[in-house]
Structure 1
Amino acid sequence: MSKDRPGEFELIRRFFAPLASDPGSLGLTDDAAVFAPGPGCDLVLTKDVLAADVHFFKDDAPEAIAAKALRVNLSDLAAKGARPRGYLLGLSLPSDWTETWLERFCAGLAADQSAFDVRLLGGDTIRSGNGLQVSITAIGEVMTGRTVRRSGAKPGDALFVTGTIGDAAAGLKIRLDTGFSTENNLADRDVGHVLDRYLLPRPRLALADLVTEFASASMDISDGLFADSAHMAAASGVDLEIELTSVPVSPALNQLRSRSRDTFLACLNGGDDYEILTAVPASGAQAFQRQAASAGCPVTPIGTVAEGTGRVNCLENGVPFTAQGLGGFTHF
């Protein structure tokens, strides 16, 4: 390590201790944090590991890398109906890290801590032998017994999603192929939109309370709409019926649909959306949709839950269709 860079304990003191304002973190001066859930609450824990050139590009802005690493975990908490309380950070730094890079990375964490009311509780920082890796374990709270899982969908439930689907995958295609936007005649504003959605997910924490109030099943969409719908269907022992024309998409995705149906479908199931898929009993569907809009997190109905054995049935204008290559994102 360069003599000009701080050692491990000085690094913790200078860069990370200012982020650890929760009393349970003990200012990062001990080996472990002490954390207690609020009265009448269960803890919800989730972890995601992000690696350079897999989940982000190594030359992305450090602030954006930090934000993405935290936000993908906050998205998982929101889907369970949990409110974030704190997180643990594991940071594997490549040999060429600089103080300026780390300052910017911590500035990104600080901004999102303020935006989402969450605090660093502890973690570990090591030297990486294989590029930058960021591991975050997020801790949230939900009222005892109210956590919403992916396994509770029932026949007759309505399916909803937040936001728009497929933008992040389109953004990744542009990052990988500079000619993609020109070939598909994407406007500059649409290019900017999908690039932003790829790098900076929007955790739908405003929906968390409504998930616990209305949803029978819920999960975030990280591997792709159809892939994650299949996960919910399998866990719940039901079939999900999704109407393609009802899935909310941005102007950028609409433009891709007009150029190539296959490209459009690949983006729709490409992953990295970090929107929320919920199944809501029909009796509460209208209220859920109305209150979600009032909370600033509108939802769109995209289909229904039916008796079945764990399949996703895709419809287009009510007509079943089968599309190839819709397995979603997988690491292996």
Structure 2
Amino acid sequence: MNNQTAVTVFLLWGFSSFPDLQSLLFVGIFFSYVIILAANVAIVVAIRFSHNLHTPMYFFLCGLSISETCASMVIIPRMLVDLLSHNKTISLPECATQMFLFFGLAANNCFIMAAMSYDRYTAIHNPLNYHMLITGSICCQMMMASFLVGFLGSLGVIITVFSLSFCDSKIIQHFFCDISPVICLACDYTFMHEMIIFSLFVSGLVGSFLLIMISYVFIVSIVVKMSSAKGRYKAFSTCSSHLCVVSIHYGFASFVYLKPKNSGSFREDMLMAVTYTVLTPLLNPIVYSLRNKEMQIALKKVIIGNVNRFIPFLQRSNK
């Protein structure tokens, strides 16, 4: 150990295993990223300028869109650069920063979705007192708590991972600084480190998922007791978009981070990582915009309003 040189720079091997596909991957991921940015910005703008969407549910959706956009910005621009560049090196501090931001934002998304499920439960369980129970200040507190808990958990992961000594290979078998391929380069990784990291993931990923499931158990128990079929349909329809996003988000994340690891699974994990770094933030705004009539109306108003403002500008320019 004393004769080995500590690694301070890593090489993100990423998609170098697929040299013939890198140009195609760049084009696909680039256009996906443009759609992610455009769709999430459209949702935030629609919520901001549509007064009928100034409700707790859309407040949390706005926060989720911003968090998803920031998480994609941490990973995708670097991925696109590496797909075209021969220099795929990343310093240890840059690697730690990328990991901290990504997992902090990912955990933040989990807790925002848990807050959204509690909001839906309160709206269905106690509709008469809903606006007194879920006020603007309570929404802000829940959002801040999601952010704080998410980044505290991420900080615990970063401290555990980067307190290790990296003195073997410097090649990370991934397109970003994910936990498993990084800790496989450590010299002194022990079972205790593994348990700490696993506990942090379970408390964040599984803990928030349990909060969501508990909320929906109560929601279902209330809805099935409703005498009106129209009331049951309306209650379930308000939750359908959220349930779709929860299924997508937790399905991909659980498959990658809670399944047993082995050295031969890195390529499989890397391909699966594309789904939750690119596909998930791409699907979330699409699901909410396609399955929510209020959001569709608000988006149409924003688009039509911008077009109407832009047409006179073009007419003046032509003159």
TM-score range, shorter chain: under 0.3
Where relative contact order (Cα < 8 A, 6+ residues apart) is larger, the structure is 2
Could you state the TM-score of these two structures normalised by the residue count of structure 1?
Answer: 0.23
Which of the pair is proportionally richer in strand? 1
Could you state the TM-score of these two structures normalised by the residue count of structure 2?
Answer: 0.24
Which of the pair is proportionally richer in helix? 2
> Based on CA coordinates, which of the two structures has the bigger radius of gyration?
2
